[in-house]
A = this chain, B = another copy of it.
Amino acid sequence: MLKRKSLLLLLIIFVCIKGFANDGYKLWLQYNYIKNETLRNTYKLQIKNLNPLGDSETIKVALNELQLGLNGMLGEAYATNSITTKEYNLIFGSKTHLAQDISIQLANEFNQINDEGFIIKSIFLKGKKQIVITAKTDIGVLYGVYHFLKLLQTNTSIEKLTIVESPKIKVRTLNHWDNLDRTVERGYSGASIWDWHRLPDYIDQRYIDYARANASIGINGTVLNNVNANALILTPPYLEKVKALSEVFRPYGIKVYLTARFSAPIEIGGLKTADPYDADVIKWWQDKAAEIYNLIPDFGGLLVKANSEGQPGPQNYDRNHVDGANMLASALESFGGIVMWRAFVYSEHDTTDRAKQAYSEFVPYDGQFKDNVLVQVKNGAIDFQPREPFHPMFGAMPKTPLMMEFQITQEYLGFSTHSIFLPKLYEETLKTDTYRKGKGSIVAKDIDGSLNDKTLTGMAGVSNIGSDINWTGNVMLQANWYGFGRLAWNPYLSSEDIADEWLRMTFSNEENFVKPIKQIMLASREAVVNYMTPFGLHHIMDTGHHYGPGPWVSNLSRPEWNPVYYHKADKQGIGFNRTATGSHATEQYAPEVANMFNNIETCPEKDLLWFHHVPWDYKLKDGNTLWDGMALKYQEGVNQVETMVKTWNTMKPYVDAQRFREIQTLLNIQYKEATWWRDACLLYFQQFSEKPLPKGVEKPTKTLEYFQSLKFPFAPGN
């Protein structure tokens, strides 16, 4: 008995040390030991043998992951066996490897899935119960395996399974704004994880774990480098490095993509021009494509930021975006590659409302792009604000595949110290009705192609990943990587469900933990809108680095880089009139939507100042004046963060020491900065409103001069 007791003690110690040192590196693939003995034993009874079918790298990866996960969760070492005649084999492999007595039972399900989809089904084999994870491809099987593991991670019953899933979107990519010097534009989690110097030979364990994490949520592509591109990535030494990464990622179903600097033919090709009509340029890109595909046969394609914020593009040669995109698409098409051409354009020579320029530029080109071109459109027409109305291009180009671009990294949302659950934001955009084909024409339907029968579909997320041990600088923000992946797989998922499963996988299944923390996560996005940019305010962040409030900034060379351009506060009121009496931006929406926005009475208050210049004493729906309402919203945002802090503080029993302390500290910083936002913005806008703060709004902690004096010369990501 003594021996047994000491073993138990030993075990507890190991668990403790493990608990103590949880640095967050394992993301949502924690595979925590299931403490509920009944449940654990039930699972053990239902998983007796692992029976992989086939021996591809992908199947090996799936087996490894199952072993790792089951070992962790059930405390049981699983070897592999042939299918036994006993009950509860866990059989996993693609359709071609299934015995006929199995595949015949799955015929219906196979009809429902696409090439990346999977089936998890409890079946009987010679009268004995079995679990089968299968798909048309090995990658589908891997997705099924991760789904199966998630069932255990979330303590879900596996008694009687019939799960049939397929991704609704084809191209599901992360965009890394990572530079070759390992800085990350708008990165707040340390340096780039791509250690270019040591590639191609040194394969960092991170690359493997990055692939595992992405495969577990169905991400199937990664654009390795910054959209503000350096042409050197297309030179042979770097292509060798890219190839090495592609080989790590291939078994996980992840294709590599690169950004193309449009002037690359000049910079690394020695040509005099990059004119897309020039025969030498065309040939240069064709040769480059052949060179790339020779190294990386499943190379995904190119992402291009052209004629935007100083990047070169076809317009340098009096050509247009179609000319540029199609020239590259031609070079890639015979290899199966695609071009993702960004619609994020606005010009210093165009004095019209910046919010209108992408639509004006691109919509006329509808139907002119080649079949292997996706136009990549940000969720809103300005730039990844805490809240934006959906981009008017969605629904407006029925003959052009539009790829959604969400930002996972928090350029405008306080950086990585602000625990904001972004799937709530993504969901809001995806579920918004464009009315382009009548009611119900929600953005998600344009993105998944169902609205206009588009076959090529895509969703991109600008990565928040860096060299920080916990990947995202803040464990809570791992949920945004996770949630982006889930929504790219299925844009109709609810953010609540995503939060629920992420919490269970990442931390604990204890209801006393999951319920309150889910609540603060779901409230967090509205909180940041409230303490930064309530009522449709936008782009009032401090300049350049976008850290902290800077509504007073007015001295930048391009007018649309200045916060004052966006809020237009004056003695009369505040907000950007984008109606027919203003910039006419509302005209870019379907009439139903345009009418709603145009009319100050029907315009949702959350978007009020995006579309209207509103008097300070305008009466809001709750009876408050705009000024009082704004001040109260700023206060509400601060209060919401206070609730987040207080709620987290009670969670110590459920979370390991390290992650508990880290998140606690970060929430405290968020509270401090929410207060800073409230005080700085209200003091600044008060100069125009000339009204006192209403009851319930706390007195500012410092003077406006103090807030205006703050400088952040080394803010990250800039």
Contact = CB atoms under 8 A, between A and B. Distances in A.
Nearest to A179: B714
Interface in A393-411: none
A173 to B, nearest CB: 24
B3 A205 contact: no
Nearest to A470: B205
Contacts of A556: none
Contact of A468 (B11, B467, B714): B467
A643 interface: no
Size category, A interface: 35 or more
A232 B713 contact: yes
A10 B15 CA distance: 11
A201 B7 contact: no
A196 B714 contact: yes
Interface in A459-493: 467-469
A190 B184 CA distance: 12
Interface string A181-223: 1110000101100011110011101100000000000000000
Nearest to A20: B68
Given A4-B3, A202-B417, A205-B658, A11 B13 contact: no
Contact of A17 (B9, B11, B71, B468): B71
Interface string A109-134: 00000000000000000000000000
A668 interface: yes
Contacts of A23: 25, 205
A7 B72 CA distance: 13
Contacts of A206: 469
A23 B13 CA distance: 20
Nearest to A4: B4
A365 interface: no
B72 A665 contact: no
A696 B106 CA distance: 66
A298 interface: no
A580 interface: no
A211 to B, nearest CB: 15
Greatest chain B CB density within 10 A among A198, A206, A417, A666 is at A198
A619 interface: no
A716 interface: yes
A201 B672 contact: yes
B197 A665 contact: no
A195 B662 CA distance: 14
A582 interface: no
A75 interface: yes
A151 interface: no
Interface in A1-51: 3-4, 6-18, 23, 25
Contacts of A8: 7
A92 interface: no
Nearest to A77: B13
A620 interface: no
A469 B3 CA distance: 37
A468 to B, nearest CB: 7
B25 A202 contact: no
A6 to B, nearest CB: 8
Interface string A144-186: 0000000000000000000000000000000000001111000
A34 to B, nearest CB: 12
B714 A197 contact: yes
A658 B714 CA distance: 35
Interface string A243-256: 00000000000000
A592 interface: no
Nearest to A184: B191
Contacts of A197: 188, 415, 712, 714-716
Given A196-B714, A714-B180, A77 B9 contact: yes
A183 B716 CA distance: 11
A282 interface: no
27 contacts: A4-B4, A7-B8, A7-B11, A9-B76, A9-B77, A10-B75, A11-B11, A12-B77, A14-B15, A14-B18, A16-B71, A16-B77, A17-B72, A18-B18, A23-B25, A180-B714, A182-B716, A190-B190, A190-B195, A191-B191, A191-B467, A197-B715, A201-B669, A202-B666, A202-B669, A203-B665, A467-B467
Given A11-B11, A17-B68, 9 more contacts: A7-B8, A10-B11, A10-B76, A13-B71, A17-B72, A181-B714, A182-B190, A201-B668, A201-B669
A-B CB proximity, top 3 nearest: A191-B191, A10-B75, A180-B714
